[in-house]
């Protein structure tokens, strides 16, 4: 699996390269700036891009904008974005395009090698990997005025958080140590209470839930 990596901090970039190679990934390019990222994504056509939001020369949202441009030119390009802080605007912009795998992780997650690599693989396979802190902020932000969300039981909220992280029913069942049938019942209740169409497509259902929680519906 070929990866284009964009990170301006040398030590972190070098560490990510070594980690991904240790898990069998091929590093097609490891770059440190927006222009280099744009060229690499256009010329190398990787299987997945792992991109820091803030890159030179602007150090604002250069990495994210390069990734979004690349997804417009190559629809469905899997992109996993890394950020120092939870920035909901960036998460929403990335999720606005429901085609292909997407992910948004805080850089702290990089230190959990197995979890980070799992997120890269999930995104490359067309899935979704959302940082739990992003989900928690979206949930807490909507709590005050969103009555449908307030109708969820504690267990349904727990399932919703795991669902929005990109986990399948089987993955949620394993995490909560319950049967997959029980999780299927919880997810059906969640979709009904949130007014969303039930879907068996893991990526589509995650995007639908996140869009609802972030007020885009």
| Cα 137 to Cα 143: distance, rounded to the nearest angstrom | 10
| Cα 63 to Cα 7: distance, rounded to the nearest angstrom | 9
Per-residue tokens: 171: 């993955």
Together in a domain, 20 and 46? yes
| Cα 137 to Cα 52: distance, rounded to the nearest angstrom | 21
Closest CA to 66 of 18, 120, 125, 4: 4
Residue 131 banded pLDDT, cuts 50, 70, 90: confident
Tell the burial category of 12 from Cβ atoms under 10 Å away from its Cβ (0-12, 13-18, 19+): middle
Last residue within a domain, chosen from 96, 130, 164: 130
What is the pTM for the complete model shown?
Answer: 0.78
Closest CA to 95 of 38, 141, 134: 134
Together in a domain, 87 and 149? no
What percent of the chain lies above the pLDDT cut of 90?
Answer: 49
* Cα–Cα distances in angstroms (integers) from residue 81 to residues 90, 147, 175, 179, in the given order: 9, 31, 24, 32
pLDDT at residue 146 is higher than 60 = no
Average pLDDT of the residues of the chain: 86
Report the range out of 55-59, 125-129, 137-141, 204-208 with the highest average pLDDT.
Answer: 55-59
Last residue within a domain, chosen from 130, 161, 178: 130
pLDDT reported for residue 11: 94
Residue 76 belongs to what domain range?
2-130
Together in a domain, 120 and 205? no
Alpha helices, H only, the chain: 10-22, 34-44, 62-73, 88-95, 113-124, 132-143, 147-150, 154-164, 169-176, 180-194, 202-213
Last residue within a domain, chosen from 67, 102, 130: 130
pLDDT greater at residue 159 or residue 150: 159
pLDDT digits (tens, 9 = 90+) for 5-57: 999 999 999 999 999 999 999 999 999 999 999 999 999 999 999 999 999 99
Together in a domain, 78 and 181? no
pLDDT reported for residue 183: 93
Residue 160: give its domain's CATH number. Answer: 3.40.50.2300
Per-residue tokens: 46: 């990787």
Together in a domain, 114 and 138? no
């Amino acid at each position: 699996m070929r990866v284009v990596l964009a990170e301006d901090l040398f030590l972190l970039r070098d560490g990510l390269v070594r980690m991904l190679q240790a898990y069998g990934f091929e590093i097609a390019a490891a770059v440190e700036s927006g222009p280099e990222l744009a060229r690499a994504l256009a010329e190398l056509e990787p299987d997945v891009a792992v991109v820091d939001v803030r890159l030179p020369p602007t150090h604002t949202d250069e990495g994210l904008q390069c990734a979004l441009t690349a997804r417009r030119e190559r629809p469905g390009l899997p992109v996993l974005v890394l950020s120092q802080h939870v920035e909901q605007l960036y998460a929403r912009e990335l999720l606005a395009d429901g085609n292909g795998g997407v992910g948004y992780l805080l850089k702290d997650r990089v230190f959990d090698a197995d979890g980070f690599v799992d997120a890269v693989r999930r995104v490359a396979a067309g899935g979704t990997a959302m940082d739990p802190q992003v989900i928690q902020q979206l949930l807490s932000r909507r709590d005050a005025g969103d009555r449908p969300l307030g109708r969820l039981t504690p267990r349904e909220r727990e399932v919703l958080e795991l669902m929005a992280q990109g986990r399948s029913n089987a993955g949620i069942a394993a995490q909560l140590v319950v049967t997959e049938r029980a999780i299927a019942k919880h997810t059906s209740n969640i979709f009904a209470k949130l007014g969303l169409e039930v879907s068996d497509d893991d990526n589509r259902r995650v995007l639908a839930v996140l869009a609802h929680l972030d007020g885009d519906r």
